[in-house]
Amino acid sequence: MHPARLAPAHLALAVLVAAVWGVNFVVIEIGLDHFPPLLFSALRFLVAALPAVFFVGRPKVAWKWIVGVGLVLGVAKFGLLFTGMDLGAPAGLSSLILQVQAVFTALFAFAALGERPGRLKVLGMAVALAGIGVAAVDEGGSGPLAGFALVIAAAACWGVSNVLTRKAAPPDALNFMVWVSTVPVLPLLALSLLLEGPERDLEALRGLDWTGVGVIAYVAWITTVFGFGAWGLLLRRYPASSVAPFSLLVPVFGMSSAALFLGESVSPLRWCAAALLVGGVALTSFQRKAVAEPEVRVLVPTPNGGATP
């Protein structure tokens, strides 16, 4: 039986993880000035996997789940997210839009696992989708819709990977994420060579500076290894219903850090979209009853990048 209320140190850790994942969108934006998006994503997973894969032990789930999540989360979700941001989707807005993964997760869980959503969850999905509509109206008047659409597609892929992760039921979140990180490296490198070109990739690698190194280190070690390791620790000690609400702080930190460091303005429409999305995701994600222990272990990649961005 786990305590429902987080101890002060663990509460601070949950807020820190949300801040790390929120600021990650600003770091990605900076990284896209140094690397093509698909190459950047490949480097992120390469550094996250090495050398950590030699220290986390052997995989604790079947390889089919590691490969499946690696392709859907690593190649599809992050490839689409990085490309969407490279096409102009703002960092703050991207941190917000990705939270609609909770809606996609509920829809795919219903289709694939037969998990019928209750009335409160359906209401939450409708509210969150209304937030997406408001954000689309705002983005349509101020930025490229192609990047916005790719970020939504990334959220859908994240929903698929959440369902796959639920089926895999990994007992160790850090072990699972490190092994998952080994899968996307070669496919992303191949896609980068094919779509972005070897000349562009070589130019980025030759021009690697300390900012580029720091960006890769942050998105790989801080957001992935530290972030998911800490989140997994919290989910092993507390019910998911006690930990999950802190993931709603991710877009708060994402939008505020983007405004602070990148000078992104937040229009009234975007604030309205944020309120609808966060409120809808809250209704979609929270449950009245505490989650049983096996399910607690499965819900690790709920917030950002599961699987963090």
pLDDT at 108: 87
- What does the pLDDT read at residue 140? 63
194: its two tokens = 């094919």
**How much is the pLDDT for 176?**
92
pTM of the model: 0.86
pLDDT, residue 306, reads: 43
Would you call the peptide bond into 268 cis, given omega within 30 degrees of 0 as the criterion? Answer: no
Grouping H, G, I as helix, E, B as strand and the rest as coil, residue 305 is strand
Q: Scanning the structure block, which residue is given the tokens 């975007």?
A: 270
* CB-CB contact of 246 with 18 (8 Å): yes
Could you tell me the CA-to-CA distances from 150 to 81, 124, 157, 231, 297 in Å, in that order?
6, 23, 10, 27, 29
Query: Looking at residue 21, what is its pLDDT?
Result: 93
CA gap 37, 282 in Å, rounded: 31
Q: What pLDDT, on the 0 to 100 scale, is given for residue 243?
A: 78
Burial (CB count within 10 angstroms: exposed 0-12, middle 13-18, buried 19+), residue 222: middle
Evaluated on CA atoms 243, 246, 276, 32, the torsion sign reads negative
Task: Report the distance separating Cα 229 and Cα 173, nearest Å.
Answer: 6
Report yes or no: 294 and 9 within 8 Å, Cβ to Cβ: no
Contact between 159 and 306 under an 8 Å Cβ cutoff? The reply is: no
pLDDT tens, position by position, for the chain (309 residues)? 556 678 889 999 989 999 999 999 999 999 999 999 999 999 999 999 999 999 999 999 999 999 999 999 999 999 999 999 999 999 988 998 888 888 888 888 888 878 787 888 788 888 888 888 888 777 665 667 889 899 999 999 988 998 898 888 888 888 999 999 999 999 999 999 999 999 999 999 999 999 999 999 999 999 988 988 888 788 778 876 677 778 888 888 998 999 999 998 877 887 888 888 888 878 776 655 444 434 434 344 444 434 456
Angle (nearest 5°) at CA 228 between 223 and 229 = 115
Q: Tell me if 162 sits within 8 A of 105, measured CB to CB.
A: yes
Q: Which amino acid is at 147?
A: G
